[in-house]
Chains A and B, each alone.
Chain A
Amino acid sequence: MIETFRALQTQLEDRPHLLRLGRLFSETVLIEVEGQEVYLTFDKGHLVEIAEGPSRKTPWRFALRTDADALRQFWQSRPAPGFHDIFGLVKIGRGRIDGDILCLVKNLRFFKEVMALARAEGGAA
């Protein structure tokens, strides 16, 4: 998973439209997959730090919690119904979003498209 986020970090730098969309987004997001924590810290749309947990002292704005198989399916180039969107994961009971959800919704297009960047390589987590 961590390798996928590192690849995604590089891809984000090659997407000027996403950096423009995220120019007001400077937050830390927790991705938790079956207990494995990854903290993604964004600064003005740039993904500046990817830190593995566990950590009890890293503040985060919102969190996406899911399982490894669901994330693998989410990153397929054409995911099955429910796995095609982070809210889809929630809807089918394979994900949970916690924290400042309004912050997520205000930056929803940016965050969803950043998370989906891993699909550009054809999937595989």
Chain B
Amino acid sequence: MSIESIIGQYVTVTVAGAPRRIYFESAGQGRPVLCLHTAGADTRQWRHLMNDAEITAQNRLIAFDMPWHGKSLPPEGVQTEEYLLTTEAYIKTVLAVVDALGLDRPVLAGCSMGGRIALQLAALHADRFSGFIAIEASDFQPAWYDIDWFHRPDAHGGEMGAALVSANISPYAPEAERWNTLWMFMQSGPGVFRGDLSFYTRDDSLIARLPQIDTGQTPVHLIVGAYDLTCTPEDAKRTADAIPGATLAVMDELGHFPMSEHPAGFRPFFIDALARMPAGAAKAA
């Protein structure tokens, strides 16, 4: 028997004047690293890194389920509200969690839509973080599919979403982890993947903000997988080129969910990214 060192807890924060009960997990000690999941998924995407003793020896990894995702319930009124994530709500939620958990300038690591919002925060709230790791992140991606496919009464949005995003998983991914990754999409609540994609495929406000990012104060490192059809290496390079001083690593054998689909393949790239971030916030409270 082996009990993992990941601890799961709940915290209630206020976003847009209403409470949000947030589920979060943490593991390790030292420099705080806040990890953001992709659209249509949850904290479980970070399970391997949070169980990596070498990484958690000097880093406290924290990951949380966005409201509507995983074990974070949707807000009151879910029965009549159409879930459509916005940049503003996403930023407020991340900052509210940073405040609630008392995180002192954590490194922010986000994947896909989490990477997108990490870059928004790098442009708009860099003082709250010590550095940014943007995984499978780009300035903007218009949808090459109809996001309404994933929320309809005559089909299972989760199963369709999983079948679609499987296009973004590398053929090098171990079979078990491929299906663990897809399972989260299959479990996603009705309309949640669609609502995330609304943010991801319709808000292009980051493009104009990228040159504002000051990597002299907070480093920005992008990581992208060659098998990612949604955020291709070309998309990530275009994005990195627009941020003065940003760095980019391309992973030849990985896809859009690297920490979840192929943990052994992603590990060296994440360790390299952490090494590029400041050693740790020393600011006194």
Expressed in whole angstroms, the minimum distance between the Cβ of A76 and any Cβ of chain B is: 9
A interface residues (Cβ-Cβ under 8 A, vs B) = 77-79, 81-82, 84-88, 90-91, 102, 105-106, 108-109, 112
Chain B residues with CB under 8 Å of A102's CB are: 146, 149
B96 contacts the other chain (CB 8 A): no
Expressed in whole angstroms, the minimum distance between the Cβ of B149 and any Cβ of chain A is: 5
In the bound assembly, the distance between CA atoms of A77 and B155 in angstroms comes to 31
- Let me know if A108 and B163 touch, CB within 8 A: yes
In the bound assembly, the distance between CA atoms of A108 and B171 in angstroms comes to 17
Chain B residues with CB under 8 Å of A87's CB are: 144, 164, 167, 229
User: Top 6 A-B pairs ranked by shortest CB distance?
Assistant: A108-B163, A85-B167, A109-B163, A87-B167, A78-B171, A81-B226
With A78-B171, A79-B171 in contact, is A108–B227 under 8 Å at CB? no
Q: Give chain A's interface secondary structure class.
A: helix
- Let me know if A108 and B160 touch, CB within 8 A: yes
Of B145, B146, B170, B229, which is in contact with the most chain A CB atoms at under 10 Å from its CB? B229
Pick 17 A–B contacts, CB within 8 A, sort by A: A78-B171, A79-B171, A81-B226, A82-B229, A84-B170, A84-B171, A86-B167, A87-B144, A90-B144, A102-B146, A105-B145, A105-B149, A105-B164, A108-B160, A108-B163, A109-B159, A112-B163
- Let me know if B144 and A91 touch, CB within 8 A: yes
Chain B residues with CB under 8 Å of A77's CB are: 171
In the bound assembly, the distance between CA atoms of A77 and B171 in angstroms comes to 8
In the bound assembly, the distance between CA atoms of A123 and B140 in angstroms comes to 35
Instruction: Identify the closest chain B residue to A119 (Cβ).
Output: B171
Q: Which of B151-187 contact A (CB under 8 A)?
A: 154-155, 159-160, 162-164, 166-167, 170-172
Q: A87-B167, A102-B149, A109-B159 are in contact. List 10 more A-B contacts (CB 8 A).
A: A81-B226, A81-B227, A82-B229, A87-B164, A87-B229, A88-B229, A91-B144, A91-B229, A105-B145, A108-B163
Interface string of B222-252 (1 = CB under 8 A from A): 0000110100000000000000000000000
Chain A residues with CB under 8 Å of B226's CB are: 81
Instruction: Identify the closest chain B residue to A82 (Cβ).
Output: B229
Instruction: Identify the closest chain A residue to B230 (Cβ).
Output: A91
Of the residues A79, A85, A91, A105, contact of B160 by C-beta under 8 Å: A105
Expressed in whole angstroms, the minimum distance between the Cβ of A110 and any Cβ of chain B is: 8
Q: Which of B206-235 contact A (CB under 8 A)?
A: 226-227, 229
Chain A residues with CB under 8 Å of B163's CB are: 105, 108-109, 112
In the bound assembly, the distance between CA atoms of A93 and B227 in angstroms comes to 15
With A81-B226, A88-B229, A91-B144 in contact, is A106–B155 under 8 Å at CB? yes
Of B154, B162, B167, which is in contact with the most chain A CB atoms at under 10 Å from its CB? B167
Expressed in whole angstroms, the minimum distance between the Cβ of A105 and any Cβ of chain B is: 5
Chain B residues with CB under 8 Å of A86's CB are: 167
Chain B residues with CB under 8 Å of A106's CB are: 154-155, 160
Of the residues A84, A90, A105, A109, contact of B227 by C-beta under 8 Å: A84
Instruction: Identify the closest chain B residue to A111 (Cβ).
Output: B163
Chain A residues with CB under 8 Å of B160's CB are: 105-106, 108
In the bound assembly, the distance between CA atoms of A109 and B167 in angstroms comes to 10
Chain B residues with CB under 8 Å of A109's CB are: 159, 162-163, 166
In the bound assembly, the distance between CA atoms of A88 and B171 in angstroms comes to 12
In the bound assembly, the distance between CA atoms of A102 and B164 in angstroms comes to 12
In the bound assembly, the distance between CA atoms of A63 and B162 in angstroms comes to 21
Instruction: Identify the closest chain A residue to B229 (Cβ).
Output: A91
Of A77, A81, A82, A85, which is in contact with the most chain B CB atoms at under 10 Å from its CB? A81
